[in-house]
A and B are shown apart, each in its own frame.
Chain A
C-alpha cells in the first residue's frame, strides 16, 4: 500500500520534476511563456465563435466569451492534467525500470505542473472581467476550494489512467476521446440551465459539472449551488482515494511490465 513517509522523503523530487516539466515545455519556443496566456484565449475565441456566435448557445445573460472562459479554465486544467499524468509513467519508463522512488510522484508531478498554467489563466480572466463590465465579487474566495476539488478529481483519474496505461496501452488512446465526451457531459460550452430541471440531478454523478459551474459562478458573481458543490467535492475526494488506492495496489508490478 501507499507509504506516506516514503512519499514525504521524496517531496523534493516532486518539485524537481514539476520544475523540469515547466522548463522543458517552453524551451526552444519563440514566444515562450506567452503560450500559457495565448492558449486559453485562443480556445475562448474559437468556442465563442462556434458556440456563442454560430450556434448561439445561451449563456445565462453573460457575454459568451466570459461565460465559456470561466468554465474552460478548470476544464482545460483538468483534461490537460489527466492526459499528461495518464501518459506520464509510460513516458518515463526509463525511470520506472531503473530508479527506485515512489512511483506516485510521476503522475502527481504531471497534475501539479498544470497548476502554474491554471494560475496564470485565472489572472488573465481576472484582468479581462472588468473589460466586459463584470466586477470582482466575494465569490472569488471560493476559487481555491473549487480548485482543490478539481485537483483531487484530476489526481484520482490521472493516477488511475497512468496505472492502467502501464499494463494496457489502450488507455493512452482512450483517454483523449473519453475526455472529449466528458467535456460535453459537463456544462462547459453550455449552461447548466439548458438541461431540463427534472434531469439536472444526473449532473451530480459528474463531479466536474458542479465544480465547473462553481468556477463560473465565482468569476461571474452568480449565486452558488452549495448542495451540488458539496456533493461534488465529496465525490472528487472519493475519486482521488480510489485512484491512489488502485495505484498503490498495482505499482509493485510496474517495473516488470512497463
Chain B
C-alpha cells in the first residue's frame, strides 16, 4: 500500500486568489440582487476561462513507504501548491489524494511563532501547531533546546532574537517531528552552514528510519544527496519522475537551454531616441557551440545591437550591472570610437566564476564623447545566474555580491611536534 497516492490531481485558482468581482459585501449584495445565478456560479468557483489558471494539472503518482522524494521545478511550477494540497491546507479542484499514516507538514519555518512569547512558550505553541502532543514536546524539550543552541535565551521573547536564532529554534521544533509522512517545503535555505549541516543530518536520519519524506527544493545538490527519487513539475504537470540523479540532471539541462534574446524590429519604436535605437539584446553563454546555461561557472556573452544615427560622434557602450537589490555590481565600457550610420554591435564578455547565483539587471548607456549619454536604458535586460554543481557538503546560499574563483596557496609551515 503506497504511503501517498495522488490520482489525476488538479488545482485551479481564480487569478488574484479570490473572485475579484465581489470583493466587498456591498458588491456581493448588489450582485446578489442583480444576478443571483451569476453570483451562485461564481461563489461555486465557476469563473470564466480567462480568470483562472491551473496550478496543478492532472498530476498522478504514488510514493511507497520509506521513499524520500524530491519535488523540483521552476518558481510557479506548482510545487508548493502540491504540498499544500497534500497537507490538506487547500482542497484539490479535481482528483484524489490518499495519505496512509500520520502526516506532518512543514511549509514554512516558524509559522505561528508569536513575537511576544518566549522561546520556551513558542516551542510548545509551534509544536502543537505542527501536530505534536504536549507530552511529546515535554519529552523532547531538552533535545529541541540543545539542537537549537538558544539555551541562554529560552525565557526571552523571540522578538529579541536574531534572525539566526529564530530560524534555529523554529527548525529545531520541526526537526523533532516524528510523523510517518513528512512533507517539507524548501527549508534548507536557512541558517548558517553549520546549522544546515545539522538539519540535513536530521533529514537523513528521518529518511533512514523508514519515514516517507517529500521535500521541495531548488537545491539540486541536496536533492541528489537526500532523495532516491525526484519528480520534476513544470506548469502544474509532471515532466519527469524517476531516479533523483537523472531527473535533476535533466532539469538542470533544460534550464540551460533558455536563451535570452530580445529583438526590436521597428527602428521607429525601439527603445532609444532619434539618434540611437536598440535593435537586439542577447545574453548567453560565451564560446563556440556552448549549450550549457547560465550557471556560476559559465562565461557570458552580452551582445547589444543598435541603429546609429549619430555618425560623427565618438561613441562608447557603457554597461552597468545591478542585482535585484539595486546594488551596483560593476560598470564596464567599450573603447570610444566613431561608427558609421547603420547597425552597430557591441559585445561584452563576462568571465565565468565571477558573478554569484542571483538575478541581474542590465542598464545600458551609449555615450557621446565619453561625457554625454545619448541613451540611458535603465532596465534593458534581466538574466539569472544559476547555481553550479559544487563539491563539498555545504548546500547553503553562497554569500557575496560576486563569487570569483581566486587562487589560493596553502601549505603547512611547521607541524606540531617537530
Chain A complexes with chain B? yes
* A169 contacts across to B, CB distance below 8 A: 24
Q: Which residues of A contact B (CB under 8 A)?
A: 10, 12-13, 15-17, 20, 23-24, 27-28, 92, 94-101, 167-171, 174, 252-253, 255-257
| A101, B131: Cα distance in complex, Å | 8
* B134 contacts across to A, CB distance below 8 A: 12, 15-16
| A101, B108: Cα distance in complex, Å | 15
| CB atoms of A27 and B116 under 8 A apart | yes
| CB atoms of A99 and B130 under 8 A apart | yes
Of A15, A16, A97, chain B has the most CB atoms within 10 Å of the CB of A16
Whether a CB of chain A sits under 8 angstroms from the CB of B17 is yes
* A16 contacts across to B, CB distance below 8 A: 124-125, 128-129, 134
Extra pairs beyond A17-B125, A168-B24 (17, CB < 8 Å): A23-B116, A24-B117, A27-B116, A95-B111, A96-B89, A99-B107, A99-B112, A99-B129, A100-B105, A101-B129, A101-B131, A168-B23, A168-B28, A252-B91, A256-B90, A257-B17, A257-B18
Of B89, B108, B121, B133, chain A has the most CB atoms within 10 Å of the CB of B89
| A107, B31: Cα distance in complex, Å | 29
| A170, B29: Cα distance in complex, Å | 12
Given contacts A24-B116, A255-B90, A256-B17, contact A13 B25 (CB under 8 A): no
User: Which residues between 74 and 124 of chain B lie within 8 Å of chain A, taking CB atoms?
Assistant: 84, 87-91, 105, 107-108, 111-112, 114, 116-117, 121, 124
Q: Which residues of B contact A (CB under 8 A)?
A: 13, 17-18, 22-26, 28, 84, 87-91, 105, 107-108, 111-112, 114, 116-117, 121, 124-125, 128-131, 133-134, 157
Shortest Cβ-Cβ A-B pairs, 5 listed: A170-B25, A16-B128, A255-B90, A100-B88, A257-B18
* B108 contacts across to A, CB distance below 8 A: 94, 98
| CB atoms of A100 and B89 under 8 A apart | yes
Given contacts A168-B24, A257-B18, contact A95 B116 (CB under 8 A): no
* A92 contacts across to B, CB distance below 8 A: 112
| A12, B128: Cα distance in complex, Å | 7
* B133 contacts across to A, CB distance below 8 A: 12
Question: How many residue pairs between the two chains, A and B, have CB atoms under 8 Å in the bound complex?
Answer: 77
* B131 contacts across to A, CB distance below 8 A: 10, 101
| A99, B90: Cα distance in complex, Å | 10
| A96, B129: Cα distance in complex, Å | 11
Closest A residue to B131 by CB, please name it: A101
20 contacts between A and B (CB under 8 A): A13-B129, A16-B124, A20-B117, A23-B116, A23-B117, A92-B112, A94-B111, A94-B112, A95-B111, A95-B129, A99-B129, A100-B88, A168-B24, A169-B24, A170-B24, A171-B25, A253-B91, A255-B89, A256-B18, A257-B17
| A55, B101: Cα distance in complex, Å | 65
| A10, B116: Cα distance in complex, Å | 23
Given contacts A97-B89, A168-B25, contact A256 B111 (CB under 8 A): no
* B17 contacts across to A, CB distance below 8 A: 256-257
| CB atoms of A23 and B121 under 8 A apart | yes
| A23, B134: Cα distance in complex, Å | 17
Closest A residue to B105 by CB, please name it: A100
Q: How far is the CB of B319 from chain A (nearest CB, A)?
A: 41
Closest A residue to B86 by CB, please name it: A100
Closest A residue to B87 by CB, please name it: A100
| CB atoms of A174 and B25 under 8 A apart | yes
* B89 contacts across to A, CB distance below 8 A: 96-100, 255
| CB atoms of B111 and A98 under 8 A apart | yes
| A97, B157: Cα distance in complex, Å | 24
